[in-house]
Amino acid sequence: MAQTVLVTGGTGYIGGEVIDQLLANGHAVHTTVRNKPKSEPRLRERWPDAGDRLKVFQADLMEDAGWAEACEGCDAVAHVASPFPFGVPKSADELVIPAREGTLRALHFATDAGIERFVQTSSAAAIAYGHPGQEQFDHTDWTNLTAGVPPYIESKTVAERAARDWVAVNNPSMAFCSVNPVAVLGPVANDDLSTSIEMLKRVLDGSVPMVPNVGFSVVDVRDVAKIHVLAIEAPASTVRGERFPASESFRWFGEMVDVVRREAPEFAGKLPKRNMPDWLVKLLRPFSADLKQLASELGHRRDVSGKRAEELLGMSYIPADRTIADTVRSLAAHGIVKP
């Protein structure tokens, strides 16, 4: 049955793909953006035939204005909007406060509007950190904040915990669930790149001279969006209280570079050919925000299982190698990278 779904953060990488799939499935969409005059033309350009099935509202994570209007008439919410900068902020509060308060604000206005389905875009960051020595993770695991974690990881963990606590107290009948993506790659719609895509772009344009000893689980943006849509369309009893890690498989950085070299040989000349010693990453980290983040990940395998979505939602994932190859082709097609 066709529904009207509020997708927060409609100009974002995941949010845009969620809108795309909801419209394709016959649903109507409300979406929030921080600057409507600037963002709506870009959204209309992407979905020129949507007409009244796509309505754009201006709303900020830290302000009440616009949220009641955005929620009006909706059957479900996909809360995708959350800060995710490239680099480390000066204060964790720059990420933690907007992530937590924005989620609670969306839940509050959704409840006031009588919306009983809420899908929060959380992250594997809320699952797989603060557990030294652990390599395998699933939907039952939670990041241990007492171990000391980077601000983004803290923000996603705090926001999901806060959302679940709020629902338990204020709207326990709500069909609330979270989608917890790992590193999200896949085709892009424009040159407004997510942090994960920006990382791969740097590999393609020669900005990464050596391969660091790091890795991460990978998932396709099309699959992340699909899990959101399936969670909206599934029976409430199937998703209530659930967590759906979105993950296809783990890849070391060097393995990803090998995929690019094999699938897009025209970029081979710009790809890193040597491994970066761990000691060099540690030596240079005081001078680079990127290396500061990488240093904490050296040698760590965080293999997050995506099976919960397979078991409950019938999900099947695009293979990671195809996702990496499709990302490269999409960046090249948009002229964002050139051989």
Task: Record the pTM.
Answer: 0.94
Q: Are 82 and 178 in contact (CB under 8 A)?
A: no
Q: How large is the greatest C-alpha to C-alpha distance in the chain, in angstroms?
A: 57
Of the CA atoms within 13 Å of residue 249, those in its CB half-sphere come to: 14
Domains of the chain as residue ranges with CATH: 4-185+220-247+302-317 (3.40.50.720)
Strand-pair partners of 177: 119
- Whole-number Å distance between alpha carbons of 339 and 323: 19
Alpha-carbon distance 115 to 159, whole Å?
20
Distance CA 286, CA 279 (A): 13
What is the total residue count of the chain?
A: 339
Q: What is the pLDDT of residue 86?
A: 47
CB burial of residue 273 (10 Å; 0-12, 13-18, 19+): exposed
Predicted local distance difference test score (pLDDT) of residue 288: 61
Q: How many distinct helices (H) and strands (E) make up the chain?
A: 13, 14
From CA 118, how far away is CA 103, in angstroms rounded? 11
CA atoms of 214 and 253, how far apart (whole Å):
6
φ, ψ of residue 291 in degrees (nearest 5)? -70, -30
Average confidence score pLDDT of the chain: 91
Question: What would the pLDDT profile of 228-279 be if each residue is shown by its tens digit?
Answer: 999 999 999 999 999 999 999 999 999 999 999 998 899 888 898 888 776 7
Q: Look-up: residue for tokens 């081979």? A: 268
Each residue's pLDDT tens digit, 100-155: 999 999 999 999 999 999 999 999 999 999 998 899 999 999 999 998 888 889 99
What 3-state DSSP class applies to 153? helix
* Average pLDDT of the residues in 328-333: 94
- β-bridge mates for residue 246, sequence order: 181
